[in-house]
Amino acid sequence: MKKSITALAAMACLTGAGTAWAQSNVTIYGRMDASAGADKVNGVSTTRLYSGNLSTSRLGFRGTEDLGGGLKAIFTLEGALGVDTGAFGGFDRQSIVGLSGGFGTVKLGRHDTSFDDIRDISVSSNLWDSEFSPTKIAYTAGVADYSSRASNQIRYESPSFGGFTVGVGYGLDEDATVKADVVSYNLRYRNGPLDVGIGFQDQKGNNREYTAISGAYDFGVARVSAGYNRAEITNGAKADGYSIGVNVPMGNLDFSVGYAYSKAKAAGATTAKGSALAAGVTYALSKRTRLYGALLDGNVENGAGVTTTDRRLYSVGVRHDF
């Protein structure tokens, strides 16, 4: 598809339809992920055909234009798809335009927060950052988990300085009557198989702050990721979470196991605990198509040790990228 659009652009230039295409590059891309399985929550099981259990089904457009002198214009439009129903809810995942050059990259619009980049490291080998990731259960104990994207966002990503990069994001609330901005920062270091970072996010709309320290390492025979996450509410409640995961590639197979745990406290007393374990396997039929199966099992307890959420999710499916 990318080649087709580039060819059309070249034809437009030759016919004088618009020289602005001469150094432009537009790509259409997407992912279709569907699986069959069941979700059992507090004893009630529902059989479903899922969309996006391994990773979110999506449709996207991205492009660049070379402006000369190392400066480029960039844009991305990306929205989630429901493979099970055919629904498309608009470009809710990304909608940005910006500039990239020796100074780094500036993006304007809806995008992942700078904090999300660091949290993603911690689960990169923890069931592939999928719906099966054990943090999906464990990190709901006591304090709700963070918002991974912010609208009306001004985001800056620095160039690499010896492997170090800095990210800053500011999501405007655009409402003079409330204070609901989303502010995020990160410091990241990447060098070969090593990827580590620290991130912070302040969600003023619900008075929550999040801090994450994450790391991942590719040993060749296995990829390991781990992270620490603190979620705080301004009234003093806080939750400390820990996650670890490992991927083991064996030919076309990729095995993964992950675990996450969280404990929440308020006024010095434990208010909730959450833990979850997940395991799964993918099989690559090609570079773009893979089969998968996975299981997630976890629960959340209140301060008295009574189970408030008991969940088990499993499914088998296929994912295709284009």
pTM value surpassing 0.85? yes
Dihedral through CA 141, CA 142, CA 143, CA 146, nearest 10? 0
Whether residue 80 contacts residue 131, with contact meaning beta carbons closer than 8 Å, is answered with no
pLDDT band per the 50, 70, 90 thresholds, residue 129: confident
- In order of their start, the domains of the chain are 2-27+35-321 (2.40.160.10)
- Average per-residue pLDDT in the chain? 93
Distance CA 266, CA 271 (A): 7
List the helix and strand counts (H, then E) for the chain: 3, 17
Q: What's phi and psi for 251, nearest 5 deg?
A: 65, -125
Distance CA 38, CA 204 (A): 36
Over residues 153-188, the pLDDT tens digits come to 999 999 999 999 999 999 999 999 999 999 999 999
Of the candidate ranges 4-13, 49-58, 71-80, 254-263, the one whose mean pLDDT is the lowest = 4-13
CA 93 to chain centre: 10
pLDDT at 215 over 70: yes
pLDDT band per the 50, 70, 90 thresholds, residue 24: confident
Distance CA 131, CA 53 (A): 5
- 118 sits in which H/E element: helix 114-122
Strand partners, 178: none
In 10 A of CB 132, how many CB atoms?
Answer: 26
Q: Which of 218, 216, 220, 208 is nearest to 243 (CA)?
A: 216
Would you state the pLDDT for residue 34? 98
Q: What is the Cα Rg of the chain in Å?
A: 21
pLDDT at 130 over 90: yes
